[in-house]
């Protein structure tokens, strides 16, 4: 069975410093992995996705993630945090065949001025 673990429920960074949101997955075959962002009382916005092409994936708003099969990780990074990055971030693995999404528990990013 597939699963996703987001290692930190809360992350706080200062504005202008790097962001690292951690995600580990479990999958019996090559997974499709996604990062979504959710601002309060809003729907989900796709940041980036990995679908067995390049292992380093660049997304919107300066975010990127690296797929590391040996570590079963798909951590999300950004070189310099902005106040507008404060939100909830979800790591997702897509289940093959049914294309169901399996969500991580989320990481709330707080950006300090």
- Please report how close the Cβ of residue 4 comes to other proteins at its closest, in angstroms: 10
Dihedral angle sign, alpha carbons of residues 95, 100, 105, 109: positive
How far from chain centre, in Å, is Cα 61?
A: 13
Residues in Cβ contact with 99 at an 8 Å cutoff, skipping those fewer than 6 apart: none
User: 70 or 99: whose CB is closer to other proteins?
Assistant: 99
Query: Does 104 help bind other proteins (rule: CB under 8 A)?
Result: yes
Q: 84: buried, middle or exposed (CB in 10 Å: 19+, 13-18, 0-12)?
A: exposed
Per-residue binder mask for other proteins (CB under 8 A), 7-46, x = binder: -------------------------x-x-x----xxxx-x
Contact residues: other proteins, CB under 8 A? 32, 34, 36, 41-44, 46, 49, 51, 90, 94, 96, 98-101, 103-106, 108
């Amino acid at each position: 069975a597939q699963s996703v673990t987001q290692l930190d429920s809360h992350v706080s960074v200062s504005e202008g410093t790097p962001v690292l949101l951690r995600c580990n997955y479990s999958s019996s075959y090559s997974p499709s992995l996604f990062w979504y962002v959710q601002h309060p009382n809003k729907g989900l916005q796709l940041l980036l996705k990995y679908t067995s092409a390049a292992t380093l994936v660049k997304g919107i708003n300066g975010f990127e993630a690296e797929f590391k099969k040996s570590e079963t990780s798909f951590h999300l990074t950004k070189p310099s945090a902005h106040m507008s990055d404060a939100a909830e971030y979800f790591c997702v693995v897509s289940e093959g065949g049914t294309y169901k999404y399996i969500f991580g528990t989320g990481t709330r990013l707080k950006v300090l001025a």
